Structure 1
Amino acid sequence: MNRGLARTLYFRPANDNRGKSVENLHLRAALKHFAQHGMAAADHARRQAVAAAEEGDRQTFEWWLEICRALDRRMAHGIEGSAKVGS
């Protein structure tokens, strides 16, 4: 690989969270959640969101969905459309 290409690739961001951005409030909460749960944090947030959806608690579902989105966009997208939550 030539140096020019290597430099170009070096400065590309590695984040896969394109599209919908995460607010600072949710990002801070996600980082704290990650500190508590480590690599299982996204799955834990997903389970919390699903439990809130099953209870019909829209506000709590949205909170945990955003935490999950900050940690793992694809996982959050997977539950976003499938969860049936009351208003």
Structure 2
Amino acid sequence: MSIRFAAPPHAYGTRLAPQDAREACGIAANDNGTDQLNDPMLQAALRHFAQHGMAAARNARQQAHKAQRQGDQQAYLWWLEICRALDRRMANALDAEPRIGT
């Protein structure tokens, strides 16, 4: 005798109204819920990513090291934040390194 597994008929027969579907979905779990598209740092990070692709975070880290060696704290912080936008773990490791001249 064969056994057939099937969902109850009502499982596929009901549909949500469009508004109910939108309410059920809500905000995506990985969405911060804020509109950060106007953030200049995010725009700069996206431009940097467009230029350097998957190596963008590594390049930003290198730029931060270069700025640090030159004693340019403002540039170091800029590149650190670019790196943070692209790879938070890499930026946290960079930030935890001892700083030159501090």
Q: TM-score, normalised by structure 1?
A: 0.71
Distance across 2 between alignment mates of 1:42 and 1:70: 8
The alignment covers a number of residue pairs equal to 72
More helix per residue: 1
1:29 matched to which residue of 2?
44
Distance across 2 between alignment mates of 1:71 and 1:58: 20
C-alpha root-mean-square deviation of aligned residues, in Å? 2.3
Give the structure with higher Rg (CA). 2
Which of structure 1's runs of 4+ aligned residues deviate more than 4 A?
none
1:73 matched to which residue of 2?
88
Please report how far the alpha carbon of residue 55 of structure 1 lies from its aligned counterpart in structure 2 after TM superposition.
Answer: 1.4
1:50 matched to which residue of 2?
65
Q: TM-score, normalised by structure 2?
A: 0.62
Distance across 2 between alignment mates of 1:14 and 1:83: 33
Unaligned runs of 5+ in 2: 1-23, 33-37
